[in-house]
Structure 1
């Protein structure tokens, strides 16, 4: 059954986020970004509601917004969303659009719809497959077809990476007017003078939730390949790995005698990173912008990363060191920055400059709000341009609808037995 707080209709504009998981800003960068978007909408005058089929967790945000437990394959959602009557609906994964999009369109046809990919899921999946098999990158797989179809059905897709915007236009022929680049939004740049300096910090840190496959791979690769090289160069230095949901497979890398510790969850990523001299992000695959690198910059902690980590965060020449996948180069860069204050300060300043250049709230938030308002002002004309979306909404997506209705009927029959 669907449970919810009371529905109010005072606000002229109402935004509904349909979320795969309840936002956990202390656990994932995606969770923090989601709340940033909701806060932005609230400041623009929207009444904000969150609906999710996930079970509540003790780590989810106390957002202050309406929170609603919704059910997949349950027609009670139809009555509820029709009563809520949102003017804007955001799906935080393409799977949420598949499961609930047809219901929203049926009950609230005038609601503008947005897909927020967080990162291009299909690209991350393709890179993961290429990393496992050694085969060439294949962008055109089944998940990509589903994700691109969800984008086409929505009125706008938010992309956190300009690299991925370009990829969607070049390889999947999505037009500019269906895409909007919205990076992480930084309201206040860090004051480096107020943060611990080189001498006040020690050891190395890694951070990232362990439900995220790129983070799991990064820890394994670092522990098995890079850490022995770093340890040989910095024998007295430890590396502490932070992240929510560290399971047994990750705990096997906890080896205090060798200086590598799996610490687990931290409630305050910025305060934690501010204690360390370097932040490491040895990512071999992934997509989107990297919250762990953003946290390093915000805490004044220089970050050593790979080309995948650097992608969409700053230009190749804007890091102050050679960004590389080579374990020897990664280890040598780590040792140099750890030991040389001048190099450390140079890379720290480069991170602050990257924040200023690419992540300013003032530069990006007004454009996003203006884009939403412009589309909503003439939604019918916007949708008329999107012929492929209209075709998909009329034909292909009905498969999800009929499957959902079949499952709902099957569950009701089972309950009646």
Structure 2
């Protein structure tokens, strides 16, 4: 694909050291670059000191600003990727008008609507309700795109069964691991001490997991492991998180880890007590890559490995979680069994060579047959003619208002 341009329209500049979503974004961009695309990234967000130095083109854009139209038309991308459904809502109609032949992808990183539904069910104690307003918006954005790239096979099946999205409009692409770790080169059971948790605190599931661990799990676990501490690392930590620090019991909240794999490799167990969320979990992947066995919940395990592939019973019960953690911390044989299960999961599910070529082939097929591909996407065409027009007119109204105010 020499000479073709791929444009990422990003809600935030990618921060792979802060979020799994940032890593996922760069996985896709690097894969496209290797396939011959010239990569450009545009975002309305302010730059941060933690964003990746990608080496790709970077452009500051603004929402509700018609200067984007001439800019994207001149760029003439062959492929446009939206990294959140809100980016498709804001810019999708402009891209469709200015670059009608560009293939469009929505990369959700995780199915935001599922995460939100689980969060609401946890807070309210009510049954899971998938059909809420955010789901309407996110699924509509998927339907308007040529392809929705999903990081979870569970979410692909959910979208097909509950939201009637067709199989040909969905594509499963997991985290991509280019090189499997050599466990013999990593610290073993006896060289490691203490427990670790890791995950950015801008992500609501991580904040909840840390609070739940501090309030419900640690009081049960600490007496089972005298002298053992738990260290929690997270980008964008704040006072609400740091207040959970308890030097007396050994629970310590830190800020971001400079290098996640190096940090994790010092600890005996990696904990991921997630009560809600969606998609694949970067913290669990990093645990496996660093040879650090992970104890998690059914939500944490979802889309990472099968229920019977962890080496221990998955549970979201605080007592059971504490018991499992204590046993694995003390039992070297069980610890090795769980570590090896993680190695198998990496090899079976995340290898770059298993997924890279097939993804590029899918893009090539869509590009070569774009007219036919779009012809059968009747709901996408209907939504562009109706619901999406409301977003266009709202944006144009804000645009006109801003110009009249001289901003």
Q: Give the TM-score category using the shorter length.
A: over 0.9
8 A contact 2:242–2:254 mirrored in 1 = no
Match of 2:276 among 285, 295, 305: 285
SS of the aligned residue for 1:256 comes to coil
Match of 1:301 among 270, 292, 295: 292
Match of 1:238 among 206, 211, 229: 229
TM normalised by structure 2 equals 0.99
Match of 1:202 among 186, 189, 193: 193
Q: Who is 1:151 aligned against?
A: 142
Match of 2:206 among 183, 208, 215: 215
Structure 2, gaps ≥5 residues long:
none
Deviations 1:241-260 (A, max 9, x none): 00101111111111122100
Match of 1:398 among 389, 392, 396: 389
How far did 1:292 drift? 0.3
Q: Who is 1:179 aligned against?
A: 170
Distance 1:292 1:118 in 2: 14
Q: Who is 1:45 aligned against?
A: 36
Deviations 1:224-251 (A, max 9, x none): 0000111010020000000101111111
Please say if 1:193 is aligned against 2:174: no
Q: Who is 1:68 aligned against?
A: 59
Q: Who is 1:368 aligned against?
A: 359
SS of the aligned residue for 1:258 comes to coil
Distance 1:73 1:257 in 2: 52
Distance 1:378 1:350 in 2: 41
Q: Who is 1:4 aligned against?
A: none
Deviations 1:353-377 (A, max 9, x none): 0111111111111111100000000
Which segment drifts farther, 249-258 or 355-364?
249-258
Distance 1:19 1:268 in 2: 24
Distance 1:318 1:264 in 2: 32
Distance 1:82 1:139 in 2: 37
Q: How many residues align structurally?
A: 407
Deviations 1:213-234 (A, max 9, x none): 0000000000000001110100
Q: Who is 1:32 aligned against?
A: 23
SS of the aligned residue for 2:196 comes to strand
Distance 1:233 1:145 in 2: 46
Which segment drifts farther, 155-164 or 243-252?
243-252
Q: Who is 1:7 aligned against?
A: none
8 A contact 2:85–2:106 mirrored in 1 = yes
Distance 2:192 2:154 in 1: 34
Match of 1:253 among 244, 255, 259: 244
How far did 1:12 drift? 2.1
Distance 1:131 1:243 in 2: 23
Distance 2:226 2:208 in 1: 24
SS of the aligned residue for 1:205 comes to strand
TM normalised by structure 1 equals 0.97
Q: Who is 2:109 aligned against?
A: 118
Q: Who is 1:387 aligned against?
A: 378
SS of the aligned residue for 1:67 comes to strand
8 A contact 2:233–2:254 mirrored in 1 = yes
How far did 1:11 drift? 5.3
Distance 2:271 2:283 in 1: 9
| Runs of 4+ in structure 1 over 4 Å off | none
Deviations 1:55-90 (A, max 9, x none): 000000000000000100000100110011000000
Q: Who is 2:406 aligned against?
A: 415
